Structure 1
């Protein structure tokens, strides 16, 4: 089962209640790369109150925890841009 943007978005919205969320499928940019395939490479841009006061590693852990059930379904690479409200874009 390939992961799709709706799956990722739903999991992140449920776990982190983001004010802003973009889920971008970058899989086509990685054709021929080990682990590449439909729904394998993603960029997530997310703004959530849950990130306030946390460093980058803690923010990424929250995102990975929210997506834990989807990782075995085919997410090979995940680029994360996680901010709290009020941080500069």
Structure 2
């Protein structure tokens, strides 16, 4: 049986992003949509790479009192490794539980 270290290499980018965002932001809702197919052939996407473009919707109590820019920065900071290894673009909707009506 593999330990948690051995499994990270085989997880999809979406699964890795989900783990990072869920644990760090304590998200009450998290939706990650791979929209890479919409960008196939895009100049910045090399060698028909996949898992390059995502839409992320996250609801987190950690966003309370944070500006929209600060919320986006929190998400980008958590995904630095992914952005440095082929993730090209993310669209972020970041709300607090109060803002989402949750």
TM-score (norm. length: structure 2) = 0.79
Q: Equivalent residue of 1:57, what SS?
A: helix
Indicate the residue corresponding to 2:29 in structure 1. Answer: 20
Q: How far 1:88 sits from its partner (Å)?
A: 3.9
RCO (CA 8 Å, sep 6+): is it higher in 1 or 2? 1
Q: Any idea what the Cα deviations from partners look like across 1:47-71, whole Å, max 9, x if unmatched?
A: 0001011111000000011111211
Q: Equivalent residue of 1:86, what SS?
A: helix
Unaligned 5+ segments in structure 2 are: 1-8
Q: How far 1:80 sits from its partner (Å)?
A: 0.3
Equivalent residues in 2 for 1:1-89, closer than 5 Å:
4-36=13-45, 37-88=49-100
Q: Aligned pair count?
A: 88
CA distance in 2, matches of 1:54, 1:69: 23
Unaligned 5+ segments in structure 1 are: none
Q: Equivalent residue of 1:87, what SS?
A: helix
Which structure's residues are more often helix, by fraction? 2
Larger Rg: 2
TM-score (norm. length: structure 1) = 0.90
